[in-house]
Amino acid sequence: MDFIKTTTERFQSAGLKITPQRLAVFKLFDGNKTHPTAEDIFSALTRDYPHISFTTVYNILKSMVQLGSLRELTIDRERIHYDPDTSSHHHAMCTSCGKIIDVMFQLPLPKIPKDLFEQFTVDFCHINFYGTCRSCQQKGK
């Protein structure tokens, strides 16, 4: 399914307007696997919208998260990264350059300790891998 179309429909169903700024953000996220931050989105928008406000960017991101078009990643303590792929998958972050890549796999349920479910109703689970990416390893000789 097309990300822009789906997201547009979600906004309309929620009674939200399709503004040029919103559409521009939808386009920036379409097929985007770089896990951008609010700052990244803001910078990309300043080309076409020199007067764009940080508040606008944060508002749009918040709406997209609420409507299920974006997922917030907790992998980076410094800032929130956003992922337009809301399907169940995980991430690896390079501790040298900060790059985040997708890790497409499913934690097998039987592997999760049973006593967790006795104390807790688990809604979802995020696995964060930390290490060094190839290009940083080569740079570091």
Partner DNA sequence: TTTTTAATTTGTAGTCATTCCAATTTAAAA
Partner DNA sequence: TTTTAAATTGGAATGACTACAAATTAAAAA
Can you give the binding site for a copy of itself, defined by CB under 8 A? 72, 74-77, 80, 92, 94-95, 101, 103-105, 107-108, 111-113, 116, 119-134, 137
Calpha distance 97→139 (Å, rounded): 11
Q: Which of 1, 13, 15, 119 binds DNA (CB under 7 A)?
A: 15
Partner whose binding site includes residue 54, from a copy of itself, DNA, none (CB under 5 to 8 Å by kind): DNA
**Is the Cβ–Cβ distance between 75 and 34 less than 8 Å?**
no
Total chain residues near DNA (CB under 7 A): 26
Q: Which of 3, 9, 10, 38 binds DNA (CB under 7 A)?
A: 38
* Unique residue bearing structure tokens 């919208």: 49
**Is the Cβ–Cβ distance between 77 and 130 less than 8 Å?**
no
| Residue 58 touching DNA (CB under 7 A) | yes
| Residue 70 touching DNA (CB under 7 A) | no
User: Cα-flanking dihedrals φ and ψ of residue 122, to 5°?
Assistant: -85, 125
**Is the Cβ–Cβ distance between 63 and 5 less than 8 Å?**
no
